[in-house]
Chain A
Amino acid sequence: MTSISFGKKWASLLDHDVTYSFLHSPTAIIAAFVTLCFFILSFGAPIITSYTPFDPESLDLMDGFIPPAWSPNGEVAHFLGTDGQGRDILAAILYGTQVSLTVGLLSVVLSISIGIPLGIIAGYFGGIVDTAIMRIADVQLTIPPILIALMIDGVARTVFTHSLHEVVAIPVLIVSIGIASWPQYARISRSGAMVERKKDYIAAARLIQTPTHLILIRHIVPNVFGPTLIVATIGVAVAIIIEATLSFLGVGVPPTAPSLGTLIRIGNDFIFSGEWWITFFPAFALVLLVLSVNLIGDWLRDTFNPKLR
């Protein structure tokens, strides 16, 4: 591998089917760009904006209810306006997106960590192990993840005292959404394992006494990579929606680390009195983010679908 020049590797990457499909799909390019922007802007928030909307000391009620910059009474300094407490909406969106992205991504990572191994074990070993794991997965699949996440979160709320809960709220959220979503990944890896297990090269590997875990990692995991990536991408979008919904309902992230959902809830109270921007911009950001991730997921699905090639 080291003898292949960098130029050649780059050329073969550019020529790859996936790259071709990406470069020829304007929606995929735009969606990827938008998602990247969200990432950079949100995690770069401390550099980009000097406002710290969730530090109560920095807020000034006199700054409250300023409309967006292009309306009368608007100020360029608060480009998207402020809420009732004087929080800059743009800054709030940037920090809120941080939370949404963190929860979204980490919960999917957790789901994959639980689901893929379990599915591979179920598919490879079969028998009772398979039945047990898949029965649990099937039952869980019929229950919407949001309900499961709600339940786990609710239990956590009763177990932890109020102040402790604030600290653990985000990890609890990640864990509950992660646990709620593992079955789909188990399904994928299980069917992948079942397909590969029958193949001759696996029998050959067993024959030469390759340890089981090596067989599993080296041969089966790469085969389920494609479908897992697709489900994971869409899973991130779903996780972001679940987190936003829970936060909107008041049972998600704590008030000290608001996410986009919390912001929307805060703004909801003001729709009737005319301060529309407090809800609108966070909602718009949320939908844009989710839509972009979904578009990437859709493009992935079309690219990896052998029948459509």
Chain B
Amino acid sequence: MISFTIKRLFQSVLVMLFVALLSFFLFNFVGDPISNMVGQETSHAEMDDLRERLGLNDPFIVKFGRFLADAVQGKFGISYRLQRPVDELIAERMPATLELVFLSAVIATTLGVLGGLVTGLKPESWFSKFILTGSLLGVSLPTFVIGILLIYIFAVSLNWLPSFGRGEVVDLGGWRTGFATLSGWKALILPAITLALYQMTLILRIIRSEMLEVLRTDFIKFARARGLKKRDINFGHALKNTLIPVITVTGLQVGSLIAFSIITETVFQWPGMGSLFIQGVQFADVPVMSAYLVLVALFFVAINLIVDLLYFVVDPRLRSDLKGGHQ
């Protein structure tokens, strides 16, 4: 178990280094950082001077080393567009994104897994068919369309919920949370549902098909041949075997929530990292883009690691394989 974890950690570090390299290239070789930072009247001499001072003429290894050192501390330079340090911008906006993603993850995972199990166990019931049709629609509705639709119904027509912003936030030592106020919650609902819907339908369909697969296996057939009660078969044997794919799926989906939060934040003008990133792309704000790249990679790598470790806990076959198991 330990050796497995160390091996995976090592691989993760390798991946992060690779991403850092990509980010570094982006930062330094795409476009000229200096001309992006200074005004139009700056003379060439001044620009060269700036270049020297910022160490832009140093050898590659030195620059990369500095980049890494900075990156580890979270420093990614200064946003071209907003003229503020990128790490400050990110720190300000991270709580907004994380709270949104967290709530969406909870909604998507619980409803998706439940729905998937129900439709997998009883595929012929009208309830299952209804959910399945709904899920097809859910997969066909792009996130931004859902957002606009919800805004139109609940904010414009019914005027129950706000259509932008976070509402009132409470500052808990640097972390500005929306969970503490009613208006904060009101502002969270529509974006959270929007973000959750696509993922929820994906999770539902995957869990359902996994459940149907498991129910077709020989050992389920054998369990029925032994006269085991349906409840024991469905919620014991079948459920436990569905658990493994459930873990992968939910792990991966949480990761993609981060990606889709970009869209949701744009539609709802939610002040999070996603909207910062999009504006960065629109304005070719390289520091912001490269910082986001590294951050998101870190997040994905971490999730993959946790999912792999969870597999270990759940599937006894993996444990013995590494013990040098018996064939």
Q: Within 8 Å by CB, do A and B touch in the complex?
A: yes
Q: Are A146 and B259 in contact (CB under 8 A)?
A: yes
Q: Which residues of B contact A276 (CB under 8 A)?
A: 152
Closest residue of chain B to A150 (Cβ to Cβ) is B281
Q: Are A294 and B140 in contact (CB under 8 A)?
A: yes
Nearest chain B CB to A33 CB, angstrom units: 17
Nearest chain B CB to A154 CB, angstrom units: 4
Which of A244-280 touch B at CB < 8 Å?
244-245, 248-251, 261, 264, 268, 271-272, 276, 279
Nearest chain A CB to B37 CB, angstrom units: 14
Q: Are B142 and A290 in contact (CB under 8 A)?
A: yes
B181 at interface by CB-CB < 8 Å:
no
Q: Mark A275-295, 1 if CB is under 8 A from B, else 0.
A: 010010001001100110011
B278 at interface by CB-CB < 8 Å:
yes
A83 at interface by CB-CB < 8 Å:
no
Q: Are A151 and B293 in contact (CB under 8 A)?
A: yes
Inter-chain residue pair count (beta carbon < 8 A): 99
Q: Are A147 and B136 in contact (CB under 8 A)?
A: no
Q: Are A153 and B281 in contact (CB under 8 A)?
A: yes
Classify chain A: how many residues form its interface, as a range: 35 or more
Checking B216, B255, B256, B284 against A158 with a beta-carbon cut-off of 8 angstroms, the contacting residue is B284
Nearest chain B CB to A10 CB, angstrom units: 33
Q: Which residues of A contact B192 (CB under 8 A)?
A: none
Nearest chain B CB to A199 CB, angstrom units: 23
Q: Which residues of B contact A268 (CB under 8 A)?
A: 148, 267
Bound-state CA distance A159–B289 (Å) is 14
Q: Which residues of B contact A157 (CB under 8 A)?
A: 281-282, 284
Checking B156, B256, B286 against A272 with a beta-carbon cut-off of 8 angstroms, the contacting residue is B156
Q: Which residues of A contact B293 (CB under 8 A)?
A: 151
A232 at interface by CB-CB < 8 Å:
no
Bound-state CA distance A155–B263 (Å) is 19
Q: Which residues of B contact A158 (CB under 8 A)?
A: 26, 30-31, 284, 286, 289
Q: Are A271 and B152 in contact (CB under 8 A)?
A: yes
Q: Are A144 and B260 in contact (CB under 8 A)?
A: yes
B241 at interface by CB-CB < 8 Å:
no
Q: Are A146 and B260 in contact (CB under 8 A)?
A: yes
Nearest chain A CB to B202 CB, angstrom units: 11
B252 at interface by CB-CB < 8 Å:
yes
Closest residue of chain A to B255 (Cβ to Cβ) is A142
Bound-state CA distance A46–B142 (Å) is 28
Bound-state CA distance A286–B263 (Å) is 17
B144 at interface by CB-CB < 8 Å:
yes
Nearest chain A CB to B226 CB, angstrom units: 23
Closest residue of chain A to B132 (Cβ to Cβ) is A298
Which of B265-279 touch A at CB < 8 Å?
266-267, 278
B15 at interface by CB-CB < 8 Å:
yes
Q: Are B256 and A291 in contact (CB under 8 A)?
A: no
Q: Are A245 and B281 in contact (CB under 8 A)?
A: no
Q: Which residues of B contact A251 (CB under 8 A)?
A: 278, 281-282
Bound-state CA distance A155–B262 (Å) is 17
A175 at interface by CB-CB < 8 Å:
no
Bound-state CA distance A69–B281 (Å) is 39
Q: Are A245 and B144 in contact (CB under 8 A)?
A: yes
A93 at interface by CB-CB < 8 Å:
no
Q: Which residues of A contact B262 (CB under 8 A)?
A: 147, 150, 249
Checking B15, B145, B216 against A139 with a beta-carbon cut-off of 8 angstroms, the contacting residue is B15
A164 at interface by CB-CB < 8 Å:
no
A62 at interface by CB-CB < 8 Å:
no
Bound-state CA distance A251–B260 (Å) is 15
Known contacts: A139-B15, A144-B255, A151-B293. The answer to whether A249 contacts B278 by CB under 8 A is yes
Q: Are B145 and A286 in contact (CB under 8 A)?
A: yes
Bound-state CA distance A113–B140 (Å) is 25
Closest residue of chain B to A293 (Cβ to Cβ) is B140
Which of A139-177 touch B at CB < 8 Å?
139, 142-144, 146-147, 150-151, 153-155, 157-159
Nearest chain A CB to B210 CB, angstrom units: 14
B139 at interface by CB-CB < 8 Å:
yes
Closest residue of chain B to A138 (Cβ to Cβ) is B304
Q: Which residues of A contact B151 (CB under 8 A)?
A: 271
Most buried by B among A155, A159, A290, A291: A155
Q: Are B281 and A264 in contact (CB under 8 A)?
A: no
Q: Are A271 and B156 in contact (CB under 8 A)?
A: yes
Q: Which residues of B contact A154 (CB under 8 A)?
A: 280-281, 284, 289
Checking A151, A264, A307 against B148 with a beta-carbon cut-off of 8 angstroms, the contacting residue is A264
Q: Which residues of B contact A244 (CB under 8 A)?
A: 142, 144
A118 at interface by CB-CB < 8 Å:
no
Q: Are B140 and A290 in contact (CB under 8 A)?
A: yes
Nearest chain B CB to A34 CB, angstrom units: 12
Q: Are B284 and A271 in contact (CB under 8 A)?
A: no
A179 at interface by CB-CB < 8 Å:
no
Q: Are A245 and B142 in contact (CB under 8 A)?
A: yes
Which of B24-70 touch A at CB < 8 Å?
26, 30-31
With A268-B148, A268-B267, A291-B140 known, 10 other A-B pairs at CB within 8 A are: A142-B300, A143-B259, A147-B296, A151-B293, A241-B142, A248-B144, A249-B263, A250-B282, A271-B151, A287-B142
- 28 example contacts (A-B, Cβ-Cβ < 8 A) are as follows A139-B15, A142-B255, A143-B255, A146-B259, A147-B259, A147-B262, A150-B281, A153-B281, A155-B26, A155-B30, A155-B289, A158-B31, A245-B142, A245-B143, A248-B144, A248-B266, A250-B282, A251-B278, A264-B148, A271-B151, A271-B152, A272-B156, A276-B152, A283-B149, A287-B140, A290-B140, A290-B141, A294-B136
